[in-house]
Amino acid sequence: MTSLYFPIASCAGSDHPDAAAYDRRWLVVDAADRWLTQKQNPDLARITVSPKLGFLVIRAPGMLRMDIPLDVIEDDDSVRRHVYIGGQRADVIDEGDLAATWMTNFLHAPCRLVKLHPDAPAVSWPQP
């Protein structure tokens, strides 16, 4: 039996063995900095992700592929922000305007791609 991992929470799962280390490391947040789930935007399920050669490869129908570096030392506090996952406040790193534009264009709503800060406390993920 193959396990599925979700490097970007609420997007399509990946059965790539390297994806386990990145399970729910990223998430998409709406304009109010709240975790966006498939319940709010079913198109998230159409975004596929897979780790490859040090990058998280992100694809969606009608979009160019986007690659996000997997392991970056988070030392730039200017890209840190707080978001809400369920009722929890989480410390995250914003992946930048290019990733935000890509997600916004595909999901047809203002949103951003963020990554949980590696030094932040663990998140207790609610059911999406």
The per-residue pLDDT for range 52-111, each reduced to its tens digit, is 999 999 999 999 999 999 988 777 788 899 999 998 999 999 999 999 999 999 999 999
Q: What is the pLDDT of residue 93?
A: 94
The structure tokens listed for 88 are 């929890």
54 conformational bin, left if phi > 0, alpha if psi -120 to 50, beta if neither: left
Q: What is the pLDDT of residue 108?
A: 97
Q: What is the pLDDT of residue 73?
A: 72
The residues spanned by each domain of the chain are: 8-116
DSSP state for residue 77 in the 8-state scheme: G
CB count in 10 Å sphere of residue 71: 9
CB count in 10 Å sphere of residue 108: 9
Distance of CA 112 to the CA centre of its chain: 9
Q: Using CA atoms, how far apart are residues 85 and 109, in angstroms rounded to an integer? A: 18
Q: Which residues pair with 52 in a beta bridge?
A: 55
The pLDDT mean for the chain works out to 93
